[in-house]
Amino acid sequence: MRTAITDMFAIDVPILAFSHCRDVVAAVTKAGGMGVLGAVAHSPEQLEIDLDWIEDQIGDRPYGVDLIVPARYAGSDEGGLTADKIRALIPPQHVEFVQDILRRYGVPDLPDDEGPQGDDGIGAIFSATRADPQLDIALAHRTALVVNALGPPTAHMIERVKEEGRRIGALAGRAQHAERHVKAGVDVIVAQGSEAGGHTGEIGTMVLIPEIVDAVGPIPVLGAGGIGRGRQMAAAMALGAAGVWCGSVWLTTEEAETHPVVKKKFLAATSADTIRSRSRTGKPARQLRTAWTDEWDNPETPMPLGMPIQPALVDEALRRIDRAAYRPGSGAEQLANYFVGQIVGAMNVSKPAAHVVFDMIEEFIEAARSLANQLED
Ligand SMILES: Cc1cc2nc3c(=O)[nH]c(=O)nc-3n(C[C@H](O)[C@H](O)[C@H](O)COP(=O)(O)O)c2cc1C
């Protein structure tokens, strides 16, 4: 295939794979697409290790790194809040509500050696303070593309990436956001519709892609949100995208490190089983609907807090739930959830990530041929 994206990165097919899992990143790159490692939860040490490992696996093929520096979050004017300040912003009734959920569902405490998250984890996540060292590490490696979610990349980020001759991308859920990114100097826009897993807006992919393509052309646009098979890829490209950016579809692959209980839930879920909820991060993020999201969705219980206060509030609870969810029939099993998009309804079989890429291309070719055959000479 040949598009503005395959040309930009010298890849065989314009399929970009967002994943927190280095094995998926390497597998998709080796299959001819391009993996992009989601680094938001990586410590600098872990990021070094994972990027070295990916480079060992993929030879001279390209890959990307994704950071999250939100445009707006509590304390963004000061470059992030300290862990103590974040803790002080948590109202006691919220702490009580989370404890009450854990009690009612019988979720056990963490063992002593897996105690509360350290200050670094709480204060620094989702902030420029956290992303700057990650950016330095990415640029010290062969990273071909750096992507930012939740707002335009900072001027510093854009400058550093361009200085090193790499490409910078950003996610957009509205045409105005995409225009703002391009004005700031972004090279690739990911037009991510509401169907997507993770942080997402309200406009559907079908409407969003052509709006963004028209607003920012000739800057290449990747279609995202609800894309997991070849017919959807063909549709995105018919709408003007130069390729696709997929996140959810990798979560049930053999390589994915998705919690086994959650993976099983994903394999069984339908496209109606997701919800946009602020309950994990403080910003609306699409995830599997479970007892956890139902608890937060109840109008009689406290509203989720903002970012990064909500993640600080629920971090330990989510770790307790994940740890205990292995016990069949347990309350923790009922609560367990994770980010996933509406494409979850089509994720019914676990297969290697490379097979997802090959199946997508095969179906894309069939779809493109079938459309061409519908034209009269
Ligand atoms: C589990 C999960 C975590 C995500 N985390 C991030 C993230 O850290 N940074 C980011 O830019 N996008 C993140 N996203 C969004 C993806 O980059 C991508 O835009 C989205 O998954 C595309 O829609 P799809 O889920 O329908 O494939 C996440 C998506 C999922 C499913």
Task: Tell me the per-residue pLDDT of 132-176, one tens digit each, with 9 for 90 and over.
Answer: 899 999 999 999 999 998 888 999 999 999 999 999 999 999 999
pLDDT for 128 equals: 60
Q: Phi/psi zone of residue 10: left (φ > 0), alpha (ψ -120 to 50 degrees), beta?
A: left
CB 29, CB 1: distance < 8 Å: no
Q: Which of 11, 41, 35, 40 is nearest to 250 (CA)?
A: 35
Say if ligand 1 is within 6 A of residue 149 CB: yes
| Token pair in block for residue 96 | 């009580």
Burial class (CB in 10 A: 0-12, 13-18, 19+), 214: exposed
At 101, the amino acid letter reads I
pLDDT for 70 equals: 67
CB 38, CB 245: distance < 8 Å: no
Say if ligand 1 is within 6 A of residue 32 CB: no
CB 241, CB 221: distance < 8 Å: yes
CB 226, CB 343: distance < 8 Å: yes
Ligand 1 pocket check: which of 15, 16, 18 to mutate, most ligand atoms within 8 Å of Cβ?
18
Rg of the Cα trace of the chain? Answer: 20
pTM (predicted TM-score): 0.95
pLDDT for 69 equals: 75
CA of 248 to the centre of ligand 1 (A): 7
CB 284, CB 200: distance < 8 Å: yes
pLDDT for 73 equals: 66
| Token pair in block for residue 169 | 């991308």
Q: What's the CA gap between 347 and 361, in Å, rounded?
A: 17
Closest ligand 1 atom number to CA of residue 247: 21
Those residues of the chain that have pLDDT short of 50 are 123-124
| Ligand 1 atom 9, closest CA | 149
Q: Which of 205, 186, 182 is nearest to 286 (CA)?
A: 205
pLDDT for 116 equals: 62
**Beta-ladder partners of 35:** 17
Closest ligand 1 atom number to CA of residue 343: 26
Say if ligand 1 is within 6 A of residue 209 CB: no
| Ligand 1 atom 6, closest CA | 198
pLDDT for 123 equals: 45
pLDDT for 114 equals: 76
User: Which backbone phi and psi does 42 adopt, to 5 degrees?
Assistant: -85, 135
Say if ligand 1 is within 6 A of residue 248 CB: yes
Residue 10 to residues 45, 144, 187, 194: CA-CA distances in angstroms?
A: 29, 10, 15, 29
CA of 225 to the centre of ligand 1 (A): 8
